Amino acid sequence: MKVRFWGVRGSLPVPGRLTNRYGGNTSCVEVRPRGDWPIIIDAGTGIRRLGKSMMESAFGDGRGTAHVLISHTHWDHIQGLPFFSPFYQQGNRVHVFARQRHDTHLQAVFASQTEDPYFPVPLSALRAEIEFHELVEGSQFEIGRAKVTCTRLNHPWIAMAYRIDVDGAAIVYCSDTAPFSDVLLEHEFIRTPPQVGGVLDPAVAEKLASMRAGLVAMCRGADLLIYDTQFTPEEYRARPHWGHSTPDDAIHVAREAGVKTLCLYHHAPTRTDEQQDVILHATQELCRTAGEPFEVIAAYEGLELALGDEEGA
Amino acid sequence: MRVRFWGVRGSIPAPGPETNRYGGNTSCVSVHTASGELIIIDMGTGLLSLGNSLLPTEFGKGAGKATILLSHAHWDHIQGLGFFAPVFIPGNQFVLWGHAKSSSLLEGILEGQMNPNFSPLYTLRNLGATVDVRAVIPGEPFEAAGVRITGRPNPHGSTTALAFRIDEGDRSFVYASDVGYAPGGPSPEVLELYRGASALLHDCTYTPEHQEKRRNRGFSSYEDAADAAARAGVGRLIMFHYDQDYADTDVDALHASCRAALDARGGQAIELTAAAEGLELEI
Ligand SMILES: [Zn+2]
Ligand SMILES: [Zn+2]
Ligand SMILES: [Zn+2]
């Protein structure tokens, strides 16, 4: 399979010279099993260019099928959807997957993204056939030859991590999540940040531990682990309730799960290319010194990786 | 007054080296009045940088006051609010003027973008600063930031967007983004709003050819902008809200075409400026 990054930024798109190299578009990753339709993870602003490139293929004449896995519906993960060209071509089929909600249907959440007064084109006016699929933690399903599994993350309003196995390789997409150590993030708004490193209520500690165990199990042996590493340690201590991790947190999961490559992802909007270089090099150095068996890379727009059967091809 | 552009792009932010010169952030303009007050027009992604630039001032200490004018609630005009640092500092005070049947309706619209499905902020009430929301009555001038402001709705696809005129002494600045006129151009009331402005910032999303293909979205071509400017006899026309697919070189071409369109309409005396992120103009 091939994996290509179209948006690597968290929270807000950040155009400008200072982000030209890593890119300013928000979350969007394309996974392309060999000879098959694309599986897209998240629909931040990066999906706009991906959609345009797809229109050069069968999607241009309305004969394409795409699957979109949404980690969660925060803006930086869905903002690009109304600008996804294949939606506007009759005949295309798009399957959208996201976590089931207890209070409303997924379709209603997406419909409200584009309803008046927020956007000029309502969901109902799109020409492609769009089907919504609601997932629960642990859901397993197939997309063509690809096997997909999911598990929940520690993020406000809850996010899903996905694993895709196909062509003799496995990738895991883990964004957005806080570490599983200081605060349990679900549906309540947390006004004042808890003390990092404080003692947790046993029930909360247990829930976090099982969430983390689920993630580590899902990452087991993956060739590529894409991980939300938006925060520096200082930023995390100031905002542990915002639902993002540091490279350190990602390293621990990567080590326990025995992954081959760890990919830093969901870069902070305020991070310049030079600052991101410093974070990457420090993380690589740390892992080299510690003798970690995995490689560390940082996602940037346009990065393409060939995995499994396509490695070296 | 001093006008500065923080975001000049339409519809969705367009990051990438090809938009470095004009900028890829969505609509946000600041106006510093001669008496030193701050007016912010629209809250696209450009608001992030504007907010950070205000932190060394009284806004960093929770003693800042500003007027916000909102043309309409499409995403490219409100997305920056959750990333505007001064709005999280208790003590800062904002008065936000926009278009709705009532201020509570407008507040509901802004509340909707903070809905926990979409934003970790959950609700406007978590912002810290006070945001006092008020509805503009079309054509009725109001006093804010020590100047006189008038708003009038323009057609914009299936909805409308407010154009604002700010008058300070003998200087006037008009902001008219997101406009899709009916055939025949601006309404008489709107033309009156533009009339003789020192500077008219106007929607200039694309070329007439591209407008043809995407008519239903309700945006202007450079011809619409040139036409409005020439008919209203303004001193300067400012191009704004470029299509997300336009690279810097496309905007350069748009600029040249707009100049020709102005001249063809007898607007040789009208100065023409293509808005760019970071550009500052003394009106
Ligand atoms: Zn995110
Ligand atoms: Zn999120
Ligand atoms: Zn707009």
pLDDT in tens, A218-260: 999 999 999 999 999 999 999 999 999 999 999 999 999 999 9
In percent, how much of chain A has pLDDT > 90? 85
Mutate to test the interface with A, among B118, B162, B246 (most CBs of A within 10 A): B118
B95: DSSP letter: E
**Residue B70 alpha carbon to ligand 3 centre in Å:** 11
Residue B216: list chain A partners with CB under 8 A: 120
Quick one: pLDDT at residue A171? 98
The residues facing A296 across adjacent strands are A262
Contact B45 A109 (CB under 8 A): no
Instruction: Tell me if residue A297 falls in helix, strand or coil.
Output: strand
3-class SS string, A70-106? CCCCCHHHHCCHHHCHHHHCCCCEEEEEEECCCCCCH
Does residue B120 register a pLDDT over 60?
yes
CATH 3.60.15.10 for domain B2-282: yes
| Residue B196 distance to chain A (closest CA, Å) | 32
In Å, how far is B158's CA from the nearest CA of chain A?
7
Q: How much distance in Å is there from the Cα of B202 to the middle of ligand 3?
A: 12
- Going by the DSSP 8-state scheme, the letter that residue A308 receives in this structure is G
Tell me how close the Cα of A139 comes to any Cα of chain B, in angstroms.
21
- Give the per-residue pLDDT at B217: 72
Q: A11 touching B, CB under 8 A? A: yes
Residue given tokens 């004449």 in the structure block: A61
Residues 24-83 of B with CB under 8 A from A: 24-25, 45, 48, 72-75, 78-80, 83
Per-residue model confidence (pLDDT) at position B12 = 96
| Chain B positions in Cβ-Cβ contact with residue A11 (cut-off 8 Å) | 83
What distance in angstroms lies between residue A77's CA and the mean position of ligand 1's atoms? Answer: 6
Is residue A119 within 8 angstroms of chain B, CB to CB? yes
User: Token match 């509805």: residue?
Assistant: B135
C-alpha to C-alpha distance for A155 and B68, rounded to whole angstroms: 32
Residues of chain B contacting residue A16, judged by C-beta atoms under 8 Å apart: 15, 20, 23-25, 277
Are B13 and A116 inside 8 Å of each other by CB?
Answer: no
pLDDT over 60 (residue B6): yes
pLDDT band for position A169 (50/70/90)? Answer: very high
**pLDDT at residue A262 above 70?**
yes
**What would the pLDDT profile of B99-116 be if each residue is shown by its tens digit?**
877 777 788 888 887 788
**Nearest-neighbour CA in chain B from A191: distance (Å):** 8
Q: How many residues does chain A have?
A: 313
pLDDT at B223: 97
- Number of inter-chain CB pairs under 8 A, A vs B: 111
pLDDT, residue A122, reads 86
How large is the average pLDDT for residues A292-300? 98
B116 interfaces chain A, CB cutoff of 8 Å: yes
- What is the distance between the alpha carbons of residues A279 and A275, in angstroms, rounded to a whole number? 6
Q: Is the peptide bond before A273 cis (omega within 30 degrees of 0)?
A: no
pLDDT band with cut points at 50, 70 and 90 for residue A102: confident
- pLDDT for residue A310 is more than 80: no
Instruction: Give the other-Cβ count within 10 Å of B222's Cβ.
Output: 29
The pairing of beta strand A304-306 with beta strand A2-7:
antiparallel
Read off φ and ψ for residue B198, nearest 5 degrees: -60, -40
Contact by Cβ (8 Å): B232, B196 = yes
Please report the DSSP string for A173-231 in residue order: EE-S---SSS---SSS---SPPPTT-PPPHHHHHHHHHHHHHHHHHHTT-SEEEEE---
pLDDT at A312: 63
pLDDT-based confidence at residue B123 (cuts at 50, 70, 90): confident
**Residue B103 pLDDT:** 76
Q: Do B123 and A20 touch (CB under 8 A)?
A: no
B13·A118 Cβ contact <8 A: no
Give B-chain residues touching A80 at CB under 8 angstroms: 12
Helix, strand, coil in percent for chain B, rounding step 5: 30, 30, 40
In the structure, what pLDDT confidence band is assigned to residue A84 with cuts at 50, 70 and 90? very high
Q: Pick from B78, B83, B118: which is nearest to A12 by CB?
A: B83
CA A75, CA A25: separation in Å to the nearest integer?
Answer: 12
A44 touches chain B (CB under 8 A): no
Q: How much of chain B, in percent, has pLDDT values that exceed 70?
A: 99
Q: Is the confidence at residue B122, as pLDDT, over 80?
A: no
A64: CB partners within 8 A, 6+ apart: A37, A54, A57, A58, A86, A92, A93
**Residue B164, pLDDT above cutoff 80:** yes
CB of A134 within 8 A of CB of A127?
no
The greatest distance separating any two alpha carbons of chain B, rounded to the nearest whole angstrom, comes to: 52
pLDDT over threshold 80, residue A313: no
Residue A38 in this model has a pLDDT that exceeds 90? yes
Q: Is B187 exposed, middle or buried (0-12, 13-18, 19+ CB in 10 A)?
A: middle
Work out the mean pLDDT of chain A and round it to a whole number.
95
In CATH, which of 3.40.190.10, 3.60.15.10, 3.40.50.12780, 3.40.710.10 is domain A2-310?
3.60.15.10
Looking at the complex, report in whole angstroms how far the Cα of residue A116 sits from the nearest Cα belonging to chain B: 8
C-alpha to C-alpha distance for A92 and A59, rounded to whole angstroms: 6
Rounded Cα–Cα distance for residues B87 and B271 (Å): 36
Q: CB distance A24–B15 less than 8 Å?
A: yes
A83 touches chain B (CB under 8 A): yes
Helices (H) and strands (E) in chain A, counts: 7, 14
Rounded to an integer, the average pLDDT of B126-138 is 92
Residues in chain B, overall count:
283
Beta carbons within 8 Å of A29's beta carbon, 6+ residues apart: A3, A4, A5, A6, A7, A40, A41, A42, A173, A226, A299
Percent of chain A with pLDDT over 70: 99
Q: B15 and A75: CB-CB below 8 Å?
A: no
Residues of chain B contacting residue A15, judged by C-beta atoms under 8 Å apart: 9, 13-16, 19, 23-25, 45
User: Which residues from chain A sit within 8 angstroms of residue B20, using beta carbons?
Assistant: 16-17, 20
Mean pLDDT score of chain B: 94
**Residue B41 dihedral angles phi and psi, to the nearest 5°:** -110, 115
Q: Convert the pLDDT of each residue in A172-199 to its tens digit.
A: 999 999 999 999 999 888 888 888 988 9
Cα A184 to Cα B27: distance, rounded to the nearest angstrom: 36
Distance (Å) from the alpha carbon of A152 to chain B's nearest alpha carbon: 16
Place of tokens 């727009």: A301
Quote the ligand 3 centre to A195 CA distance (angstroms).
41
Banded model confidence at residue B215, pLDDT cuts 50, 70, 90? low
Residue boundaries of the structural domains of chain B: 2-282
Place of tokens 């795409």: A66
Q: Is residue A70 very low, low, confident or very high in pLDDT (cuts 50, 70, 90)?
A: very high
